[in-house]
Chain A
């Protein structure tokens, strides 16, 4: 069965420090991986996906099939990055399997 693991419930960093939100997955096939972000009192929204290999709001994530990881990174954290971040896995047109989420708190 597919599974997504986000080992950190809470991650606190100082403004300007690098950020890495960890995500590991288990799936025997070729996964589609996503990062979703939920700012306070706002809807869940897509941050980025591994297929597009783009950088959104300074965040990047590289799919490492050897380590079955899809860690989210940003070189310099900003206060507005404080939010809940969810890593999710999809296998075609099926429901997403979410990790438990990591709350990122950026301290000024």
Chain B
């Protein structure tokens, strides 16, 4: 099946710094990608929908200035956590649809000290 990768898989940063997470569809094109956040022992929460060539659509309560999304090409979407704080520590997962199926990346664990 289709493969979605994420980079990095794990990142530790200092409070106040920005972190960029990449999501790539390796063998298919994705005009849309989805970014989820997963708190410990909780389910996935949709943060935003990334659209190639246009602005991302954010879910209610998600700060678009804090979580910058750029869908640079048909195979790459990036999520930048700006001025990260400890409460941003979480597991971030992207997915890309192909047909009527979703393919998930392995996730990125962000730890903000």
User: Distance (Å) between the CB of B65 and the closest chain A CB?
Assistant: 21
B44 within 8 A of A: yes
A32 within 8 A of B: yes
Q: Which listed segment binds B: A21-29, A74-82, A89-97?
A: A89-97
Question: Given the complex of chains A and B, what is the CA–CA distance between A100 and B43 in angstroms?
Answer: 5
B101 lies within 8 A of A46 (CB): yes
A90 lies within 8 A of B102 (CB): yes
Q: Among the interface residues A32, A95, A98, which one has the most CB atoms of the partner chain B within 10 A?
A: A95
> What does the 1/0 interface line of A23-47 toward B look like (CB < 8 Å)?
0000000001010100000111110
A90 CB contacts on chain B under 8 angstroms: 100, 102
Which B residues between 6 and 52 are near A, CB-CB below 8 angstroms?
32, 34, 42-44, 46, 49
Chain A contact patch, size range: 20 to 34
B43 lies within 8 A of A86 (CB): yes
B76 within 8 A of A: no
Chain B contact patch, size range: 10 to 19
A43 CB contacts on chain B under 8 angstroms: 104-107
Which of A32, A44, A86 has a CB less than 8 Å from the CB of B100? A32
Which of A32, A45, A95 has a CB less than 8 Å from the CB of B49? A95
Question: Given the complex of chains A and B, what is the CA–CA distance between A95 and B95 in angstroms?
Answer: 9
Question: Given the complex of chains A and B, what is the CA–CA distance between A87 and B43 in angstroms?
Answer: 10
A34 CB contacts on chain B under 8 angstroms: 102
B84 within 8 A of A: no
B43 lies within 8 A of A44 (CB): no
User: Distance (Å) between the CB of B57 and the closest chain A CB?
Assistant: 10
> What does the 1/0 interface line of B71-113 toward A look like (CB < 8 Å)?
0000000000000000000000101010011101111000000
Given contacts A43-B105, A86-B43, A101-B43, contact A92 B100 (CB under 8 A): yes
16 chain-A/chain-B pairs, Cβ below 8 angstroms: A34-B102, A42-B106, A43-B106, A43-B107, A44-B93, A44-B104, A44-B107, A93-B97, A93-B100, A95-B49, A95-B95, A96-B34, A96-B95, A99-B43, A100-B43, A101-B42
Q: Which 3 A-B pairs have the closest CB atoms?
A: A43-B106, A100-B43, A44-B104
